[in-house]
Amino acid sequence: MRVSFSGKRGSEEIHGCKGLILKRYLFLFFIALMILVGCAPKQVKIYDQDSQLRNNIIRTAVEMHGKPYRSGAKGPDAFDCSGFIYYVYKRWGIILPVNTEGLMKVGYSIGRYNIRPGDIVIFRIKKALHSGIMLNRNEFIHASSSRGVAIDNTEDPYWKKSIIGYRSVL
């Protein structure tokens, strides 16, 4: 099959090698575009209607993104999961327990569809407990033992199967 284009330079036929070259350039263009989009900074949706305190807690938590993990650390240079929550809330005058077992007893339990930014999510991974701060309905920020303070999604199968519940202390 031949497709002809006419212009000031005459006509060019796109078939055989020329068509293959065009397809390769388009393929490379889309690969480059995907790489650029993948390297863009992470955007986190914070709900505008939430209280200023909740937004301050989220802002403080996100400022810690990338800080390293260290067992038993309560910041500001390194964190473990509950130490991270303790540090973020303490910055805004709220003193919480420094372990996940204690976090399971403060505030009140909330359902999956009542989550608001700043609420706490608790997981059981194997036999250990883990906790994080919800950024929106699906994303949470936590101190990961392998990646430091990181943002993940509760819909990811790894996290979804491990959720014990959600707590609100605000």
**pLDDT digits over 53-108, tens only?**
999 999 999 999 999 999 999 999 999 999 999 999 999 999 999 999 999 999 99
Which amino acid makes up residue 117?
P
Q: Examine the pLDDT at 25 and tell me if it is beyond 50.
A: yes
Q: What is the pLDDT of residue 167?
A: 96
Question: Phi and psi of 134, rounded to 5°?
Answer: -70, 135
Of the candidates 15, 39, 65, 130, the residue annotated as catalytic is 130
For the chain, the 3-state helix, strand and coil shares in percent, each to the nearest 5, are 35, 30, 40
Instruction: Enumerate long-range contacts of 60-63, CB under 8 Å, 24 or more apart.
Output: 60/88, 60/91, 60/92, 61/88, 61/133, 61/135, 61/141, 61/149, 62/135, 62/141, 62/151
Which of 3.30.750.24, 3.40.50.11810, 3.90.1720.10, 3.30.1330.10 would CATH assign to domain 52-168? 3.90.1720.10
Look up residue 143 and give its DSSP letter. E
81 a catalytic residue: yes
Tell me phi and psi for residue 112, to 5 degrees.
-55, -35
**Alpha-carbon gap, residue 145 to 30, rounded angstroms:** 35
Supply the pLDDT for residue 61: 97
Q: Is the pLDDT of residue 48 over 50?
A: no
Sign of the alpha-carbon dihedral angle for 136, 104, 67, 50: positive
Has 130 been annotated as catalytic?
Answer: yes
- Does residue 43 surpass a pLDDT of 70? no
Contacts of 4 (CB under 8 A, 6+ apart): 11, 12, 13
Cα gap 134→88, rounded to integer Å: 12
What pLDDT, on a 0 to 100 scale, did the predictor assign at position 46? 46
Torsion on CA atoms 138, 92, 102, 110, rounded to nearest 10: -40
pLDDT higher than threshold 60 for residue 42: no
**pLDDT (0 to 100) of residue 51:** 87
- What radius of gyration, in Å, describes the C-alpha atoms of the chain? 24
Percent of the chain residues past pLDDT 70, beyond the cut: 71
Residue in 15, 39, 65, 142 annotated catalytic: 142
Domain spans of the chain, in order of start: 3-38, 52-168
Whether this prediction's pTM lies above 0.85 is answered by no
- pLDDT for residue 60: 97
The C-alpha atoms of residue 104 and residue 114 are separated, in whole angstroms, by 17
The band of 27, judged by pLDDT with boundaries at 50, 70 and 90, is low
